[in-house]
Structure 1
Amino acid sequence: MQTEARVGVVVDGGAAVGRCQEQRHIGTAAHLAAGGFAGAVSKTCTAPLARLTILFQVAGMHSDVATLRKCSIWHEASRIFREEGIEAFWKGNLVTIVHRLPYSAISFYSYERYKNLLQTVPGLDRDSNNVGVVRLLGGGLAGITAASLTYPLDVVRTRLATQKTTRYYKGIFHAVSTICRDEGVKGLYKGLGATLLGVGPSIAISFSVYESLRSYWQMERPHDSTAVVSLFSGSLSGIASSTATFPLDLVKRRMQLQGAAGTASVQKSTISGTVRDILQREGLRGFYRALT
């Protein structure tokens, strides 16, 4: 970052330009730090629901349909409190926090780089009317890059969050080393294909719903607070994209647990194999287990 600032001084021949660029880079670092801290706080506050979601998503791997029908949020929350203690609601949260900052930093950095690269393509340059396309493609590529580079932490989080009274994985580093020992390095990337398949549609749906809602709202009620419009538009676009790509997220979680804790795989560790198993055992409803 400092190098870029110095280059700016040399090329433009003015110290003021260099100072402006340096301030912009400092602002970026502060923005990333603030975003990472805010993400850590929000993830910690919602960690109990996140763990319940993961447990519901993978319940069908080891339970029959009759048992699954009896399962409820209250029932599972009561079991966690009774058998594991209240702190168990935050199992895997430390990994989520550790995952948050590099994911945000990689997304932010790669988005800017992809956007600049795309603008060199004829028809997508800065003077064209395809700014939305550049943002959409840049966001998708940045999401794929960040998800790929930080994916092992996502696998570790799932493994830790699904442990109940027996602890096979004792922490982040122990989980990484144990997975590599038991399953090889490829064990850290189980389910990555399902994740990457969901990144593009998720960003596309979120982007289009957000822009459509915000534009319509501002046209109908131009005097409403911009912050309120952005908040509600962002929330609804997030719900829409999460709902649309939830089946892929569930498939990913199932694949991440194949061969966990030294056990043999009970399902085929491919996307198509996992999809077939869910359809046969649970039907279409199985793909939306824990959506609420």
Structure 2
Amino acid sequence: MFPTHCNVLNYFLKRFFVPIKGGVQSSRPQPQVIIPSAAFAGAIISFVLCPSELVKCRMQIQGTDSLVPKCSGYSSSLDCALKTIKSDGVTGAFRGGSTTFLRESIGNAVFFSVYEYVRYYMHLQLKSGSSDHNNLVDMGIGILSGGLGGVAFWSTVLPLDVAKTIIQTAPDKSSLTNPFQVLNSIYRMSGLRGCYTGLGPTILRAFPANAAAIVTWEVAMKLLGIKNN
């Protein structure tokens, strides 16, 4: 998933955390606002993402020769969800929930910190320069800030995502569910590289996907007449 799915929630949470001095909100990024609002938004959205990603991961490895044990007998995503609940109960759909919680909380704090600071300083440079500040420039800033935010997100939390996938696709109910124990096991077998399995394709996807999502978000905000400080 991409961290930009938290945009709306994060936008409103920032209004709760933002300090107001003299009746005016500061336009400069403030870590004491960005980090808790983004982390809280990620924590909330993790409860939606966990069961949906569990189904996605189990469907993806089904019928493959992956080292991860096969999941068999799923005819559709709905069938996978229903069979998971039938065999493991409702809590089974939230297997890997703590790992998803950590990934989204930490990842979104990183994403929105990078996004806000890159956006702020690029706008600052343009204001001090002679360049005309137009819609095309705004789009360019959105592409760079959103793309770099996405790269920062996945560079930080990819090991947690690797652990989450292993936890969610393990067929044995008694398998490890502590992400740090899973990562320790991976590290002992494959080193740091094993913890960052799939980093290349993930980064290649992260930049354009998050850049497009942020530009779409900012255009929508502008069309709705909502100021995005």
Give the TM-score taking structure 2 as reference length.
0.69
Residue 211 of structure 1 and its aligned partner are, at CA, apart by: 5.3
Instruction: Assess, with a 3 A threshold, how the Cα gap between structure 1 residues 113 and 45 changes in structure 2: closer, same or farther.
Output: closer
Q: Deviations over 1:88-110 (max 9, x none)?
A: 10011111111222212222222
Match for 1:106 among 110, 119, 122?
110
Whether the aligned pair in 2 keeps the contact of 1:47 and 1:93 (CA below 8 Å) is yes
Deviation at 1:126, TM superposition (A): 8.0
2:200 maps to what in 1? Answer: 193
Identity value in percent: 22
Provide the aligned length of Structure 1 versus Structure 2. Answer: 197
| Contact 1:144-1:196 at 8 Å conserved across structures | yes
For structure 1, the 5+ residue unaligned runs are 1-18, 219-224, 231-292
Aligned-pair CA distance for 1:170: 3.8
Change (3 A) 1:69 1:180: closer
Secondary structure of the residue aligned to 2:172 is coil
Name stretches of at least 5 consecutive residues in structure 2 with no aligned partner. Answer: 1-20
Match of 1:204 among 203, 211, 225: 211
* Aligned residue among 14, 32, 39 for 1:36: 39
What is aligned with 2:164? 157
Partner residue in 2 for 1:84: 88
1:175 Cα deviation after fit = 0.4
1:58 aligns with 2:65: no
Aligned partner of 1:47 in structure 2 is 50
Give the structure 2 partner of residue 144 of structure 1.
151
Q: C-alpha separation between the residues in 2 aligned to 1:140 and 1:102?
A: 17
Map of 1:221 onto structure 2? none
Choose between structure 1 and 2: higher helix proportion: 1
TM-score, normalised with respect to structure 1: 0.56
Counterpart contact for 1:118–1:124, Cα < 8 Å: no
Q: Secondary structure at the match of 2:62?
A: helix
| Paired position in structure 2 for 1:240 | none
Q: Which has the higher contact order (CA 8 A, sep 6+)?
A: 2
Report the Cα distance in structure 2 between the residues aligned to 1:157 and 1:125, rounded to whole angstroms: 46
Cα distance, 1:199 vs. partner? 1.3
The answer as to whether partners of 2:142 and 2:218 remain within 8 angstroms in 1 is no
